[in-house]
Structure 1
Amino acid sequence: MTVTDNRRAAAPGASPYTIRAATPADVAGARRVMLDTLYREFDYGYVPQWHHDIVDIHATYLDDPRHLLLVAVHEGEVVGTTGIRSAGPAHPPHPRWLADRYPSGSTAQLVRVYVDPAHRRHGLARTMVRQACAFVADTPGYARIYLHTNVKVEGSGAFWRSLADEVFDARATGEHGPGVETVHFEIPMPARTPVTAEG
């Protein structure tokens, strides 16, 4: 599947944002958005066993054809990210039954759905998630789309419940430690893009 830019400004009054697959030139900007989110909103900052992909964005997302990193760009600056990795939830810290339900390889895990606070309320996260899910549907070998999120972040619980089905509320388990309120979700697999004679 070719990830399309469906928000490029084409006329006066059109959106000033472009959403597209990341290129090597976007890596530094994407990393900035990710780290700013971890430190300013999640409080716990960079944790190597959770966030190793942020260090090597190129190898994780750009070099693997089954992975994807989308970026939202405004006036040449990366202001949002959304990733897909072929990995399920790890056990531990997550429950064994959850890891069994979402095995690596056939599970597309949605990750790093972050938007710079100055650029929120423009539908960027929702658009990136939909494009990422379309990529999954068109990529052979994926059976499910999974994610987990820290619903302590304002608005995140309502946002994900508008797009996904809740699978497991792990807040009572404290699986990620104090200050992290994890809830696991599954997004229904969208229909695959029809193949036409033009390609």
Structure 2
Amino acid sequence: MTDAPDNPSYTVRPASPADVEGARRLMLDTFYREFDYGYVPAWHRDVVDITATYLDNPRHLLLVAVHDGEVVATTGVRSGGPVHPPHPRWLAERYPPVTTAQLVRVYVRPEHRRHGLARKLVRQACAFAATTPGYDSIYLHTNVNVEGAEAFWRSVAKEVFDARATGEHGAGVATVHFEIPMPH
């Protein structure tokens, strides 16, 4: 796990304890600046305890992209699929919590986008899921109101459910659920 493809000044690697505060700062900035709804305890518990969630659990992973000593992108893998409610029951049943690797926190600071960081992070996260015993699917959901999110995910994943019409996360949140084929 080395440099990002388009720029050798980025290093992509698993997060270390020294990266926790920078990763948390990026995640919180994303919630407040990109999503416009801020920190929601029910949705963002992992951000409070990044170490226990990602670094201490062998089935979980947090990847970071670092530029000049700053965490500028993240991608996480956690056990678990969508939860009913707010997501539809059929979707929760399709992605059981033990066998589903969920991609989360795929965030890149706006000034560092268009360097292939998200694609590289997602590829490495999927490789981790494929080599971690017990996972048989890779799932994610995204807010497609974020500029570039929908086009990016459609380029690497298959849509499973477009929840925009349901308003499952409330007004202003446009959620689409995706699956990425498990790498071999």
Mapping of residues 82-161 of structure 1, within 5 Å: 82-161=75-154
Normalised by the length of structure 1, the TM-score is 0.90
User: CA offsets, 1:45-97, max 9 Å, x none?
Assistant: 10000000000000000000000000000011110000000011010000000
Per the alignment, residue 170 of structure 1 pairs with 163
Per the alignment, residue 49 of structure 2 pairs with 56
One-letter code aligned to 2:141: H
One-letter code aligned to 2:102: Q
One-letter code aligned to 1:108: A
- CA positional deviation for 1:155: 1.1
- CA positional deviation for 1:15: 1.4
- CA positional deviation for 1:118: 1.1
User: Residue 65 of structure 1 aligns to a residue in which SS?
Assistant: coil
- CA positional deviation for 1:5: 2.0
Per the alignment, residue 186 of structure 1 pairs with 179
CA distance in 1, matches of 2:24, 2:162: 29
One-letter code aligned to 2:81: G
Higher Cα Rg, which structure: 1
CA distance in 1, matches of 2:40, 2:78: 18
- CA positional deviation for 1:14: 5.3
Per the alignment, residue 5 of structure 1 pairs with 2
Mapping of residues 19-38 of structure 1, within 5 Å: 19-38=12-31
One-letter code aligned to 2:159: E
CA distance in 1, matches of 2:99, 2:7: 37
User: Residue 42 of structure 2 aligns to a residue in which SS?
Assistant: helix
Question: Closer, same or farther in 2 for the Cα pair 1:97/1:118, shift >3 Å?
Answer: same
Q: Number of residues paired by the alignment?
A: 184
CA distance in 1, matches of 2:3, 2:148: 25
- CA positional deviation for 1:137: 0.4
Say what the alpha-carbon RMSD is for the aligned residues: 1.2
Question: Closer, same or farther in 2 for the Cα pair 1:14/1:186, shift >3 Å?
Answer: closer
Unpaired segments ≥5 residues, structure 2: none
- Percent of aligned pairs with the same amino acid: 76
User: CA offsets, 1:89-119, max 9 Å, x none?
Assistant: 0100000000000000100000000001111
CA distance in 2, matches of 1:83, 1:6: 18
Per the alignment, residue 44 of structure 1 pairs with 37
One-letter code aligned to 2:60: H
Per the alignment, residue 58 of structure 2 pairs with 65
Contact in 1 for aligned 2:9/2:67 (Cα 8 Å) = yes
CA distance in 2, matches of 1:14, 1:116: 15
Contact in 1 for aligned 2:30/2:107 (Cα 8 Å) = yes
CA distance in 2, matches of 1:80, 1:50: 19
Unpaired segments ≥5 residues, structure 1: 192-199
